[in-house]
Structure 1
Amino acid sequence: MTRIETDVCVIGAGSGGLSVASGAVQMGADVVLLEGHKMGGDCLNYGCVPSKALLAAGHKAHGTSQGAFGVAGQDPAPDFAAAKDHVQATIAAIEPHDSQERFEGLGVRVIREFGRFISESEVQAGDHIIKARRFVIATGSRPFVPPIPGLDAVPHHTNETIFDLRERPDHLIIIGGGPIGLEMAQAHRRLGSKVTVLEGAKALGKDDPEAAAVVLETLRGEGIEIIEGAKASKVSEANGAIHVETEGGPSYSGSHLLIAVGRQVNVDKLDLEKAGVDFERGGVTVDAGLRSTNKRVYAVGDAAGGAQFTHVAGYHAGVIIRPMLFGLPAKARTDHIPWATYTAPELAQVGLTEAQAEEAHGDAVFVARAEFGGNDRGIATGQTKGFAKVMVVKGRPVGATIVGPQAGELIQIWSLAIANKLKMSAVASMIAPYPTLGEINKRAASAYFTPKLFESPMVKKVVGLVQKFGRP
């Protein structure tokens, strides 16, 4: 057994863990990084990266098939295996940035073993016992597979296996109508599969319902069957097909099954009790600074029990570096965290939705709005579906919703505004190059001032007096 003493021990080499390890070691700390599976974690190997690569292939096929602007559409004849080659090539291109070799080159000691606590100040990983001044739990999450009767006896996929499938599914049934389920639905539909989505409640139920409706209408228009209020009650296999029964409803049959109903945090095998770290099913119990009940131990990303996004894990890493290395106070915020669903059209959100803002602030909320149908670049490129709306309280944005082309890119300006407590005037005064989709944000900001400038009797009175008595 090898004993190691270090400043920082990071458990998990996903986005959050890698960010902590690289930041800490480059600032002079001694760092040990534990990873028992793949470097890069879920995002690189099974999540964000492969899903966006497969979506890109689907979007390319769809664009080729659609005639527009005097150019006839063509049958793209998608090669499903080649699309999966693109997925693997994308992972391979990004992989070196997250590799063991790169981090060892930075000075991090990388141990490719799972870690578990054996005391309040020690972790065991294989034949190594690591004692550290600070520990960071960055173990991420895995697909949650619900206990549907019969599911354990039927072949099915999660996001950890769907990208290894090289033969195009004839008919893919997806249980779960959240972002992962709908992204995979559109990708597979555009690559030639028939797709049925079964959602027990509302599809995209965590998003603004008006914006979600734009996405769902588009997906249904492409031939994707989306059944809401359809909770799976039993799964079986017969005659070469998979059958999914729903509570009080019909049965649906297909060739392949994907489970996309949520995530389960990876904290159950860490022996956290031995470290005096409180936790629940949703993750480690942490304070505003992401520190656990054991003051030596922090948690970031999915393990911290909050929003399950790669960029949140990276943000958390920056938060905990301050107290761990410099002894400075730091608190994690959530109001400026954006997220996006990368269907076409995309749907992005930061801060409060319209309903949440009205619940929190009542009549003080002003909703400033702009449509892609009024955006000149959108008109020129045939991308007029969707809108941007910004929830404003006392001149400052508290939330923004964008559904339409490049919504994931366009939402960033509102994250910037909320993070830095900017007023709407800061965005309204921005000069956007013409014509760009980004003008929609400026137009939404300007819409906040329209009633104040163009519908105000006082403004008109002042203008009249200036014109009458002012110098020529």
Structure 2
Amino acid sequence: MEQIKTDLLVIGAGSGGLSVAAGAVQMGADVVLLEGHLMGGDCLNFGCVPSKALLASGKVAHAQAHASAFGVADVVPQVDYAAAKDHVADVIAQIEPNDSVERFEGLGVRVIKEYGAFTGPNTVQAGAHSITARRIVIATGSSPMVPPIPGLADVPYLTNETLFELRDKPAHLLIIGGGPIGLEMAQAHRRLGCEVTVIEGDKALGRDDPEMAAFVLQALRDEGVQIEENALAERISGTAGAITVAAKDGRSFTGSHLLVAVGRKPNIDTLNLSAAGIDHTGRGITVDDSLRTSNRKVYAIGDVTGGAQFTHVAGYHAGVIIRSALFGMPAKQRTDHIPHATYTDPELAQIGLTESAAREKYGDRLEVVRFDLHHNDRLIAERKAKGLIKVMVVKGRPVGVSIAGHQAGEHINLWALVLANKMKMGQVAAMVSPYPTVGEIGKRAAGAYFSPRLFDNTKIKRVVRFVQRWLP
């Protein structure tokens, strides 16, 4: 057994763990990184990257079939599903070197390709290595949750970890779960020529603003995605090519393939957390606002903490704990400035409070500013002028923004800057956007906030009339 002593041990080479390891080693710390599976974690190999690549294939096919509005003949796209998956693999391969063992060893990180398990408060065993560290960061992420639906274990099913290995195009894809993953893959497969049925036990996109979610869901339905809400899966039966999902209310759905996309579970089962005195629940490892566990030498970041499960959250967490673990400086996480997006077409993005949550918190102090995207000239030119931005404002300061429409995930970036720095609507209104850009919608929303204050204000009108009388 090799005995290793180090300043910082990082368990897990997903986006959060890699950010911690890279930052720490370049600041002079001695760093050991453990990864028993794939470098880059879920995001690179099974999640963000491959899903967006497959969505891109679907967008190209959809554009070919809907080109006549631009003076170009519609054509029936000739989809090669296996080639689309080759595109996905190529995208992963282009990004992979950034997350590779070679790159991190080149930075000075010692990478050990083994899973780790605690043997004491600050000691972890990984294969033939026993590692003692001053500080330890758990960044093991999460895995697809497979619900205990009767019959599921007896039929072939896919998760996001196996979907991208599929080479034969599904004739009819059933998807259990109407969240972002389920709906993104529903639209991608529909545009690539599959029949698709989404089976959701509650409301699809139920965690988002209902008005915005309804807009996105209608767009998917218009493309032919069958979305069945309040259809709690009760039993699954059949064989490969003919799988049936029976809902509790008596509805039944049959398809050729089944994708399970009902949520995530933390990767903690093999860590032996009790040996290190680390508290946890079924949702994940318990941490405080500094991302410390009940063991003060151990931090946990990203999905494994059971909070918001986004790659950018893990990256943000990495920055928080680097300040604490390396420099001993107090650092706490915030959640009010964390955006998220669903990358369907149209997209759906949110930061801060939704309208209903803001009304509950602020009552009559809340103003909701709306700007319809059909007023944006660039979107009109590109025939994408559908959607809405809503900004929740209290005393001139945005507390939440919801956007549904073309490139909503891009436009939430402006508001992420605004909320992170506690800026006011006046600062957004002062911005000059080039014309014509889709990005003008942020400034136009700020303008919609000030318009009634300027143009419907009788006092201002009196002042203007008075000044005009005296101007030479």
TM bracket, shorter-chain basis: over 0.9
TM-score, normalising length from structure 1?
Answer: 0.99
Does structure 1 residue 110 correspond to structure 2 residue 111? yes
Does structure 1 residue 24 correspond to structure 2 residue 16? no
> Within 5 A, what are the aligned runs for 1:22-421?
22-66=22-66, 67-238=68-239, 240-421=241-422
Deviations for 1:384-424, whole angstroms, at most 9, x for unmatched residues?
11011110011010010111111110001001000001010
Asked if structure 1 preserves the Cα contact closer than 8 Å seen for 2:241 and 2:255, the reply is: no
> Displacement, 1:238?
4.9
> Displacement, 1:169?
0.1
Partners of 1:230 and 1:352 lie apart in 2 by 28
Aligned position for 1:6? 6
Deviations for 1:224-246, whole angstroms, at most 9, x for unmatched residues?
10000000000011594101100
Greater CA drift, 280-289 or 42-51 = 280-289
Partners of 2:241 and 2:272 lie apart in 1 by 43
> Displacement, 1:464?
1.6
TM-score, normalising length from structure 2?
Answer: 0.99
Aligned letter for 1:63? A
Aligned position for 1:426? 427
**Percent identity of paired positions between Structure 1 and Structure 2:** 65
Aligned letter for 2:335? T
Asked if structure 1 preserves the Cα contact closer than 8 Å seen for 2:241 and 2:257, the reply is: no
Asked if structure 1 preserves the Cα contact closer than 8 Å seen for 2:8 and 2:137, the reply is: yes
Aligned letter for 2:296? K
Point out 4+ residue stretches in structure 1 off by more than 2 angstroms.
Answer: none
Aligned position for 2:450? 449
Number of corresponding residues: 471
SS in 2 for 1:3: strand
Deviations for 1:337-372, whole angstroms, at most 9, x for unmatched residues?
001000000000011001111111111111111111
Partners of 2:124 and 2:239 lie apart in 1 by 48
SS in 2 for 1:93: helix
Deviations for 1:95-139, whole angstroms, at most 9, x for unmatched residues?
000000000000000000000100001000001000000000000
> Displacement, 1:268?
1.9
Deviations for 1:7-47, whole angstroms, at most 9, x for unmatched residues?
00000000000000000000000000000000000000000
Aligned letter for 2:55? L
> Displacement, 1:250?
1.6
Aligned letter for 1:98? D
Deviations for 1:46-74, whole angstroms, at most 9, x for unmatched residues?
00000000000001000011122211111
Greater CA drift, 132-141 or 299-308 = 299-308
Aligned letter for 2:448? A
> Displacement, 1:279?
0.7
Partners of 2:307 and 2:457 lie apart in 1 by 44
> Displacement, 1:459?
1.1
SS in 2 for 1:335: coil
Unpaired runs of at least 5, structure 2: none
Partners of 1:69 and 1:121 lie apart in 2 by 63
Deviations for 1:136-191, whole angstroms, at most 9, x for unmatched residues?
00000000000000000100000000000011000000000000000000000000
